Amino acid sequence: MAYVVGLVVLLVGLLVSIALHEVGHMVPAKRFGVRVSQYMVGFGPTVWSRVRGETEYGVKGIPLGGYVRLIGMYPPKEALGRPPRAGRFAELVDGARQASAEEIRPGEDTRAFYRLSAPKKIVVMLGGPMMNLVIAAVLLTVIMAGIGLPGSQATTTVGSVGQCVTTQPTDSCTAADPRSPAVQAGLRPGDRIVSWGPRQISSWSDVQTAIKDVPGENIPVVVERDGRTVTLHVSPVVANRPVFGPDGTPKTDANGTLVVEPTRYVGFSPTAAIERQPLTAVPAALGNALGQTVAIVATLPGRLVDVTKAALGMQARSPSSVVGVVGVARLAGEIGEAPIGLSQRIAGWLSILASLNIALFVFNLIPLVPLDGGHVAGAIWEGARRAFARWRGLPRPAPSDVARMVPVAYGVFLVLVAMSLVLVVADLVAPVRI
């Protein structure tokens, strides 16, 4: 049930993000006098719609996007002042231009999008991505200042359980390694340690001291699990473990080798205490997330090659791999089932939604149609041409003919579909797990 709740939270959050993205386009467009004939969340068949004023508002069956239809997105050929070109691509462009012109009712030519000034076009097209950036900033504020982030202070709640006892602290488990005392005792992530043998536990340092000082085997350890107390029996072993300095970092010798010493070992680590962050920390976190997302988008072709190899079984899937809609849904479901508190579960879901909105912001700024950045690039080019004409005293140039980018839009659409299919397959056969 918790897994399903995670999926529902993700779906609702994604739909709200898409809806607000389109509001970011629609509001300034209407403000500037452009007629908005449709406002739709989703693609495919219409599930519900209502006409309010001059706009049809609705929801479609495939919740993977949305759109607002602004009349006159492309200038008609009469406004371009040049003869039509020949060729198959030219026919495709003329078809898109004609379809755009047919949306303009008699007497509404002044309300067409292509009639707007370049700055107003930029405002309309950036309105959607900027809305995603605002959503991400709000979500990060709620996470950091409202709920809090794990800090440096350890708690008495188990965060992770080591699966085995290794000969060296840095070794991974092998079939020959014995199971850790924590696993044998049945200790689980999310357990809060109440007592260790005869000692009551109130801090992580109490736990560390008790492990070292309470002798013997089958030590009774009382934990709180899902609102009830459970008594486990732990038998610590002696194993080589790292020696930590006063600042909490592992010590190394003159050769850089990790310093270890025999110590009583159980095999679990704590969670970190949740600490609310100041509002002043949010801009830096948002900027860091933006930088990381830009880097991911810039290296996306190489990352997709790695994802394809993982899907074909040629290599393991990296934990930092890009994921598609299936992978994101899986992560949301796993957060729902994770042995963590409700506040941290909510923080995990909000973090996913913040990341998605940042990705939508960055991705939509790519200067290729049908992405918003393609129309922004066309408006910037149009504004530059008009500024140059004014400076030279030349006649006002015709509107920027963004319709000529329609063949590119089809190509970009096919690339996005192919990329989505690769990610879906990879997320199913080689998923990334938390």
Q: Is 22 a catalytic residue?
A: yes
Distance, in Å, from the CA atom of 70 to the CA atom of 68, rounded to the nearest integer, reads: 6
Token pair 């097209």 is at which residue? Answer: 125
> From residue 421, how far is each of 9, 87, 417, 425, 427 by CA, in Å?
23, 32, 6, 6, 10
**135 touches 269 (CB < 8 A):** no
- Given the residues 22, 102, 103, 275, the one annotated as active site: 22
Ranges assigned E (strand) in 30-95: 36-52, 55-70
Helix, strand, coil % over all residues of the chain, rounded to 5: 50, 20, 30
Give the torsion through C-alpha atoms of 26, 32, 35, 40, to 10 deg: 0
Distance, in Å, from the CA atom of 336 to the CA atom of 349, rounded to the nearest integer, reads: 8
Distance, in Å, from the CA atom of 319 to the CA atom of 298, rounded to the nearest integer, reads: 19
Among candidate residues 105, 107, 78, the one with its CA nearest the CA of residue 94 = 78
Q: Which region holds residue 99: left if phi is over 0, alpha if psi is between -120 and 50, else beta?
A: alpha
Distance, in Å, from the CA atom of 360 to the CA atom of 366, rounded to the nearest integer, reads: 10
User: What number of H helices and E strands is found in the chain?
Assistant: 12, 10
Ranges assigned E (strand) in 89-175: 149-161
Distance, in Å, from the CA atom of 43 to the CA atom of 58, rounded to the nearest integer, reads: 10
Say which DSSP state 110 is in: G
Token pair 């359980």 is at which residue? Answer: 161
Tokens for 81, please give them: 């002042």
Distance, in Å, from the CA atom of 48 to the CA atom of 59, rounded to the nearest integer, reads: 5
Q: What are the catalytic residues?
A: 22
